[in-house]
Amino acid sequence: MNIKPQKTLAREQVEFVMTLYSKGHMKEAINEIKSLNEKYPNVPLLFNLMGACYKSLSDIDAAVQMFKTATKIKPDYAEAHFNLGVILKDLGKLKEAVDCFQKSIAIQPNYPDAHNNLGNALVDLDQREAAIESYEWAIAYKPDYTQAYLNLAILFSKFDPIKAVDYYKKAIIIDSNYDAAYFNLASTYRHLGLKDEAIAAYEKAIEIKPDYADAHKNLSAMKKYNKNDSQILQMELLLSKNDLNESDQISLNFALAKVNEDLGNEDDFFKFLNKGNKLRKKELNYTFNKDKEVILKIKEVFKTPLYQVKKPSIKKTVLKPIFIVGMPRSGTSLVEQIISSHNEVYGAGELDFLAKIVAPGLKESINNKNFFTEKAILSIREKYLKSLSSLNTSESFITDKMPLNFRFIGFILSAFPEAKIIHLNRDAMATCWSIYKHYFKSNGNGYAHNFKDLAAYYSLYKELMVFWNDLYPNKIFDISYEDLTINQEDETRKLLKYCELDWDENCLDFHTNTRAVKTTSALQVRQKMYQGSSEAWKKYEVHLQPLLNGLTSF
């Protein structure tokens, strides 16, 4: 593009626009920029500034257009490429965002923010090694870059929590008031079963940021309250604020529910618990029909059994996945802790690999009844095994204990005819009560926050398990949570035999296993086997009548 010579834009004019922007006067800033554009039509800085203003006003399409115009006028405009990349990442256009960040880095290698944001995009693309390298470059150019240390730590927490702890501590050394680093450090300690260290780190996060609602919630799950605990009044005062956002209200309601459970204040326990669940359902905009449609679609796909991978089609692999499925809070974490205590098994926790692979195919099959061909099933196998390989573990047996994979059993047995599937059965009321009283960080358990939804979803789950057992007889190993707690050794021996694993005494001492556990059961599985938890709901039977009535057939 040929740019005609023009007068130079005065510094004072740019500073005036920047002042408007910094004070939040976005519309005035845009009008001023448009006025300047009439005199200076090809100044990339003005388009970059206007893009930032539109972004602040949430006019994303206009912001994208402005940043693109800036880079078209000035192809080596590193900041405009970066700004465009930030928006594209927010829109989920990850590959395009990566391209923008890489362009800005090629123009200006010493650009820590671009390296850091490139790392974030690569994480979302499951390119772990490349993401680590990007974060390291960000730190190399800016050694006190606490956000990059935090991002590195969060990434390592998924597969090397010990190293993650080191990175959190490095961030804290640079900034001793970094509340987010203390919060995430506490969560990693919790996953490692280091209860005292986790409590201390959560308390430090709250000391730095007294209104840190998520820290209050997480801390509440780890301690036993007495009526003189100063944190109680602190949370009550926070919840009384009129300007508290919905997410913080949810966290504090769940936290105060736990307080009142500990204090034996039954009515207040349910007041806060019901309010927290009601708000959480609203936040998720959950409707039961969405889950119902998914289950019905899966059944529709399997009206005619799908192609099953044959031995000639199977590429040689040493990986042997073990899927542990069932409803959340049914004992899946306990069973994984037992199996992963075996010296030949790696406990990978709740992997989202399968859902990410299968879900797009389900959407595609709505318009294409024959989508799941031999090619599609082989693709599921190859993609899943590739994801497992990224875990870089020496053990060949790998457990995947994503409970809601019960929805995908047909796909598992089609793509992995050799797969081991362990299904946890637990008393219906015990399972559903435990689900209702626990806060789920992920968005995939929207049914959990209403008694009617919960009972209806449980019914869907039971019906689907009957469907799978009829379709694949003797392919799913059912284990009773209650039987396991009563007859630990006998049930453990049956479990290992099904998995084709030799007996290992370590499986009886599962509570000594030091692996990270990233579920709400992280501390429970560090304890010896105990009985009676499935009876705990009976104490609150008068409050649970709607749920009890919904589960009468179970």
pLDDT tens per residue across span 119-135: 999 999 989 999 999 99
For residue range 315-356, what is the model confidence (pLDDT) as tens digits? 778 899 999 999 999 999 999 999 999 999 999 999 999 999
Q: CA 223, 227, 233, 235 torsion: positive or negative? A: positive
Alpha-carbon torsion 426, 445, 355, 462, what sign?
positive
Q: How confident is the model at residue 522 (pLDDT cuts 50, 70, 90)?
A: low
**Percent over 90 (pLDDT), the chain:** 78
Q: Quick check: 13 pLDDT over 90?
A: no
Topology of the domain covering 303-550: Rossmann fold (3.40.50)
The amino acid at 551: L
β-bridge partners, 346: 398
Between the alpha carbon of residue 391 and those of residues 312, 352, 388, 438, 525, the distances in Å are: 26, 13, 6, 29, 22
Total-model pTM: 0.87
Enter the tokens of residue 254: 């769940």
Among residues 285, 246, 286, 252, the alpha carbon closest in space to that of 447 is found at 286
pLDDT (tens digit, 9 = 90+) per residue, 180-233? 999 999 999 999 989 999 999 999 999 999 999 999 999 999 999 999 999 999
Residue 523 pLDDT more than 70?
Answer: no
pLDDT computed for residue 520 by the predictor: 58
Q: Report residue 481: phi and psi, to 5°.
A: -60, -45
Residues, the chain: 554
The stretch 371-384 carries a mean pLDDT of: 92
- Categorize the per-residue pLDDT at 420 as very low, low, confident or very high, splitting at 50, 70 and 90: very high
| Residue 391 pLDDT level (bands cut at 50, 70, 90) | confident
422: helix, strand or coil: strand
| pLDDT given at position 370 | 81
DSSP 372-403: S-HHHHHHHHHHHHHHHHTT--S-SEEEE--G
Per-residue b or e along 202-215, where b marks 16 or more CB atoms closer than 10 Å to that residue's CB = bbbbbebeeebbbb
Place of tokens 């919060």: 183
**What integer pLDDT is reported at residue 165 of this predicted model?**
97
Mean pLDDT, rounded, for 155-169:
94
Q: How far apart are CA 502 and CA 504, in angstroms?
A: 6
Given a cut of 50, whether residue 86 has pLDDT beyond it is yes
pLDDT in the model for residue 365 = 84
Contact yes or no for 246/226 (Cβ under 8 A): no
Higher local confidence (pLDDT), 552 or 5: 552
Distance CA 262, CA 241 (A): 24
CA dihedral 18, 19, 22, 28 (to 10 degrees): -90
pLDDT of residue 102: 98
